[in-house]
Each structure stands twice: as C-alpha cells, then as structure tokens.
Structure 1
Amino acid sequence: MENNRFSRLNQYRSMWVLVFFDLPTETKTDRRRATKFRKNLLDDGFSMFQFSIYMRFCASRENAEVHTKRVKRGLPEYGKVGVMQITDKQFGMMQLFHGQKPAALEAPSQQLELF
C-alpha cells in the first residue's frame, strides 16, 4: 500500500498555475497582441477560468516552473500580467459563486505529460 505522503500526485506537490492579465485592446495591434497571448496560453495547456484568468494543472512544482517560464517568454509588450502558483490542496479550498449560489468546481482534465 502506497503512503499518500509520497504519492507522485499528492495535493501538496501538484500545483496550479494561474495567469491573470489586463491587456490593452484599444487598437487593432493591441487586440492582436492580446489574442496571441491568450492563444499561447491555450496552446500550452491552460484553460480559461474567466476572460482574463487562465489556469493549468501541473503534476509538480518543477513542471509549474516550466509553464511559468513559458508565460514569461510570451509576455506582451504592454499591459499587466500576474502569475501565481498554488498547491492543488489550496486550489481545492476555493469557493466559487454564480450570482449568490455556490457553484461546483469543475474537475481538472487529466493531461498526458511526456518527458
């Protein structure tokens, strides 16, 4: 029987990477840059949580760092971008509401990772 403390995907070792951003969209060029940034996030396995918040599950802190570095490499010239890493345990404590009714948190999709 495997001890949960040493489980490869335990809730304290696995991470979520959240990307928050506020990008300018006044000009056609600004909109193109913002669209490219969102597309890069999607191509890297992030899912939209809200329009300017994307999230990605990572099996380890090391894997979370890889994806954080990719976000940094694709930063647009203007705007504000924040990246936060939290454990799966912390993510599971999030309370979501639609209007004033509690909403169920969607289960993350399982992603195949090749090393």
Structure 2
Amino acid sequence: MWLFVLFDLPVETKKERKAASDFRKALMKDGFGMLQFSVYCRHCASDESAQVHIKRTKAVTPEKGQVSIIKITDRQYGDIINIWGAKDKPLPAGPTQIEMF
C-alpha cells in the first residue's frame, strides 16, 4: 500500500517556516518522497508498516496547519493518471534566411 501525506502549513513567521521545513525533512528521513511541494508519498509493505509511519508522521506534525494522510492500495496507485507539462504547441515560423553578397 501507499501512504500520501498532504499538508498546508503556515509560513508567515520564521518559527513557522522552520517548523514546516523540519516537518518536510522528517518526512524525507522516514522514506517519503516529494510528489509535489506539499504532497509526499511512500510505499509500505503492509498495514502494520503503514501504521508505524502514520504514528511517526503524527509525532512530527507542527502545531499549526493542516496535515492529511491517505492510504491507498497498490492497485489504486497504479490507476493514477499523471499529466506532465502543458500541451505541445507548434513552434512559430522562424524568419526567412537572408543572403548577403
């Protein structure tokens, strides 16, 4: 199964920025990888393993802000549709070459 941690943490003061940064570092130390700036995920071999990582995440969650944890199966993870970048647009026509004699 897969664990996703989604969060929205305040970063207005220096203390809040440090708490948000420490939280992200703790997630990475626990094996989470960044999917997007405030979305991290990791694979867990079993529900017991997932519970351990959920407990660790709860322990390092800052006082302020919102943190959500989602568990999904490997099959559900395989159904994710990722779209990278924008649609391709044709390049504009380049200038015609000028010959100089």
Instruction: Name the TM-score, length of structure 2 as normaliser.
Output: 0.83
C-alpha distance in structure 2 between counterparts of 1:89 and 1:76, whole Å: 32
Residue number in structure 1 paired with 2:83: 97
Higher RCO (CA < 8 A, seq sep 6+): 2
**Matches for 1:76-115 after TM superposition, within 5 Å:** 76-100=62-86
Percent of residue pairs bearing the same amino acid type: 53
Instruction: Name the TM-score, length of structure 1 as normaliser.
Output: 0.73
* Amino acid aligned to 2:80: M
- Structure 2: any 5+ residue segments left out of the alignment? 88-101
> Deviations 1:39-76 (Å, cap 9, x if unpaired)?
00000000000000000101111101110111011110
**Matches for 1:49-88 after TM superposition, within 5 Å:** 49-88=35-74
* Amino acid aligned to 1:57: H
4+ residue runs of structure 1 moved beyond 6 angstroms?
none
Q: How many residues align?
A: 87
Deviation at 1:100, TM superposition (A): 4.4
Higher strand share: 1
Over alpha carbons, which structure has the higher Rg?
Answer: 2
Residue number in structure 2 paired with 1:36: 22
* Amino acid aligned to 1:20: L
C-alpha distance in structure 1 between counterparts of 2:63 and 2:74, whole Å: 31
- Structure 1: any 5+ residue segments left out of the alignment? 1-14, 102-115
